[in-house]
């Protein structure tokens, strides 16, 4: 019998295959697969959900929020196309699972969470796991992290009505943003937005997804 981590990897590989026509990605990259294998998802899942920790599903983490489905985490990470020297901004830390995956692949991760209790829990967890390249902040991620901009990549892990202009401004030319943008009241299009040399965003819709809403607003 396969161990739970190997079983999860197999399921995520199958999801990559099943969605290849729309995502344009034929398979999970070895780098993303290694990160998914290394990060202990059970450490990010609440006590009552431990028996589901290695399933390829989103799970509740309290405060009406979720830990994302591993396939979606892997897909969004791969779409960012991170070089090892990348500095990444994440909006929506949640429990910190996606943050840890990013920290495995990038030089530095700056992550913002609007719910203080979740931000605190994530900070503790990520510290206990020994990540030294993650910076956490409590607040509305619409503002981004101007003092540390520009970023090589930006990931938003909550559904937004549109791409926030302040985040667009904090993406370096050539950089990529991956963000779920509302297509109707209950689902979003996962969008990859690349900032071209003229400073404009080239947007590509990748897949229909379901995320909790991005709260707050642009100032
Ligand atoms: N990244 C997480 C993971 O690893 O599974 C999943 C994040 S959860 C789907 C979305 C998170 O975005 C929630 O924790 C929510 O509180 C947060 N959020 C929503 N609106 C936000 C905002 N304006 N700024 C920062 N965080 C926000």
User: What is the predicted pLDDT for the residue at 88?
Assistant: 98
CATH code assigned to 4-209: 3.40.50.150
- Report how far residue 125's alpha carbon sits from residue 34's, in angstroms, rounded to the nearest whole number: 20
Res 65 pLDDT > 80: yes
Task: Looking at the CA of residue 67, tell me the nearest atom of ligand 1.
Answer: 5
User: What is the predicted pLDDT for the residue at 186?
Assistant: 81
Q: Which residues are catalytic?
A: 68
Res 167 pLDDT > 70: yes
Task: Looking at the CA of residue 141, tell me the nearest atom of ligand 1.
Answer: 24
Q: What tens digit of pLDDT does each residue of 79-100 get?
A: 999 999 999 999 999 999 999 9
**pLDDT class for 103, splitting at 50, 70, 90?**
very high
User: What is the predicted pLDDT for the residue at 1?
Assistant: 56
Mean pLDDT, rounded, for 213-218: 92
Q: What tens digit of pLDDT does each residue of 8-34 get?
A: 999 999 999 999 999 999 999 999 999
Q: Is 214 in the pocket of ligand 1 (CB under 6 A)?
A: yes
Q: Is 65 in the pocket of ligand 1 (CB under 6 A)?
A: yes
Q: What tens digit of pLDDT does each residue of 26-59 get?
A: 999 999 999 999 999 999 999 999 999 999 999 9
User: What is the predicted pLDDT for the residue at 145?
Assistant: 98
CA of 114 to the centre of ligand 1 (A): 7
Q: Is 103 in the pocket of ligand 1 (CB under 6 A)?
A: no
Instruction: Establish whether the linkage from the previous residue to 150 is cis, with ω within 30° of 0.
Output: yes
- Give the predicted TM-score (pTM) of the model: 0.97
Name the residue ranges covered by the structural domains of the chain.
4-209
In the structure encoding, which two tokens stand for residue 25, read together?
């990605």
CA of 84 to the centre of ligand 1 (A): 24
- Sequential DSSP letters for 42-95: GGGS-GGGGGGTTSSS-EEEETTEEEPPHHHHHHHHHHH---TT-EEEEE--TT
Cβ–Cβ < 8 Å for 41, 61 = no
Q: Is 36 in the pocket of ligand 1 (CB under 6 A)?
A: no
* Pocket probe mutation, ligand 1, options 41, 69, 80, 94, max atoms within 8 Å of Cβ: 94
CA of 93 to the centre of ligand 1 (A): 5
Mean pLDDT, rounded, for 180-198: 92
Task: Looking at the CA of residue 96, tell me the nearest atom of ligand 1.
Answer: 4
Please report the ipTM that was assigned to this predicted complex.
0.99
């Amino acid at each position: 019998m396969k161990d739970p981590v190997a079983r999860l990897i197999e399921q995520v590989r199958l999801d990559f295959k099943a969605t290849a026509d729309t995502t344009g990605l034929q398979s999970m990259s070895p780098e993303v697969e290694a990160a998914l294998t290394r990060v202990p998802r059970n450490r990010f899942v609440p006590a009552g959900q431990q028996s589901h920790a290695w399933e390829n599903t989103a799970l509740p983490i309290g405060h009406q929020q979720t830990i994302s489905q591993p396939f979606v985490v892997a897909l969004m990470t791969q779409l960012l196309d991170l070089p090892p020297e990348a500095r990444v901004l994440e909006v929506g830390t949640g429990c910190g699972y996606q943050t840890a995956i990013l920290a495995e692949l990038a030089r530095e991760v700056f992550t913002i969470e609007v719910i203080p209790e979740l931000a605190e829990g994530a900070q503790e967890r990520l510290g206990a796991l020994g990540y030294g390249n993650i910076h956490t902040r409590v607040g509305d991620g619409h503002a981004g992290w101007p003092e540390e901009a520009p970023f090589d990549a930006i990931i938003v892990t909550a559904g937004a009505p549109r791409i926030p202009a302040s985040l667009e401004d904090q993406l370096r030319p050539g950089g990529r943003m991956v963000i779920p943008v509302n297509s109707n009241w209950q689902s979003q299009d996962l969008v990859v937005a690349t900032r071209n040399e003229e400073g404009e965003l080239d947007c590509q819709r990748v897949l229909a997804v379901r995320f909790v809403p991005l709260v707050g607003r642009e100032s």
